[in-house]
Amino acid sequence: MAQIFHPAFNTIARASIFGAIFFIVAITWVSAAIWQSPYFTEVAVTRDQPVPFSHEHHVHGLGIDCRYCHTSVEQSSFAGIPATHVCMSCHSVIWKNAPLLKPVRDSFNTNQPLRWTRVHDLPDYVFFNHSIHVAKGVGCSTCHGQVNHMPLMWKNATLHMQWCLDCHREPEKYVRPREEVFNMEWSAPADQMQMGKELVEKYHIRKGQLDNCSVCHR
C-alpha cells in the first residue's frame, strides 16, 4: 500500500501534541497569575478619593477608634461611611481653612454627601455582615490589614471566596478576644490555636456550618 504521508509527519504530529499541551498549560498558568494579580484583585492599589483621607494619621497618629467613624459596624451588616458632620466635628476647628479639605466643607455647606470610592466592595451576590464577625471576635485588621499604617486606603486581601473559606473552615486561627477586635496593634499570641479553639466554643461559632453555601449566598 502506498504511503500517503511522509514519515516526517509523525514527528510533526507528536511535536504538535506536546506543543498544544504546553500551550494550554502556559495559558492556564498565565490566566491564574493574572487573576491573582493586583490588576484584578486591586490588592495594595490605592483608589482615588474626593479627599486623601489618611487612616495612618487619624488612627495611629491621633488614636481615633474605628467606631467613631464606622458607627454601625457593631449593629449592622454595613460598617458605615462617616457623614460629613462627623468630619466637621473636628475640622470646623482644626485645619478649618485647609485647601485639602475644601470638598469636606463644600459637602457640609451644601448638604451633599461626599462620593467616596469603596475600597472593599464585594459582588452583589455575596452577603457579608460586619456585626456578626465583630461579635464572634474577628478583628478589623484580619480583613482590612493594618489600616493604622496606611497613609491612603488600599485593599489588603483579595476577598476571593477561597480566602473567606480559609477562615470559615478554621476560625480558630483568626478569632481573638472581643475586647481586642478594634485594637489595630493586636497580634496573634504563641498559643493562638489553643486560645482560638476556646473562643470558638465560647462565642458559639458553628464551625461545621460556616462553609455552607447559604451562609454567604442567599
pLDDT of residue 201: 97
Over 80: is that where the pLDDT of 84 sits?
yes
Concatenated DSSP letters of 132-186: HHHHTT--HHHHH--GGG-SS-BB-S---HHHHHHHHH-GGGT---GGGTT-TT-
- Tell me the pLDDT tens digit for each residue of 9-60: 567 767 777 777 877 877 776 666 666 667 678 899 999 999 999 999 999 9
Proportion of the chain above pLDDT 90, given as a percent: 79
Does residue 177 register a pLDDT over 80? yes
Confidence category of residue 6, pLDDT binned at 50, 70, 90? low
Whether 119 and 155 have beta carbons less than 8 Å apart is answered as yes
| Average per-residue pLDDT for the chain | 90
Cα separations (Å) of 100 from 50, 58, 113, 193, 205? 10, 15, 17, 46, 45
Is there a contact between 133 and 141 (Cβ–Cβ < 8 Å)? no
Model pLDDT, residue 18: 72
Q: What is the mean pLDDT of residues 92-119?
A: 95
Whole-angstrom Cα distance, residue 196 to residue 175?
Answer: 6
Parse the chain into domains and list their residue ranges. Answer: 55-81+118-216, 82-115
Q: 3-state SS of 103-147?
A: HHHHHHHHCCCCCCCCCCCCCCCCCCCHHHHHHCCCCHHHHHCCH
- Percent residues over pLDDT 70 in the chain: 90
- DSSP classification of residue 187: -
Question: Over the range 118-151, which residues count as b (16 or more CB within 10 Å of their CB) and which as e?
Answer: ebeeeeeeeeeebeebbbbbbbbbbbbbebbebe
pLDDT value, residue 19 = 74
User: Which pLDDT score is estimated for 148?
Assistant: 97
Q: At what angle do helices 84-91 and 102-110 cross, to 10 degrees?
A: 120
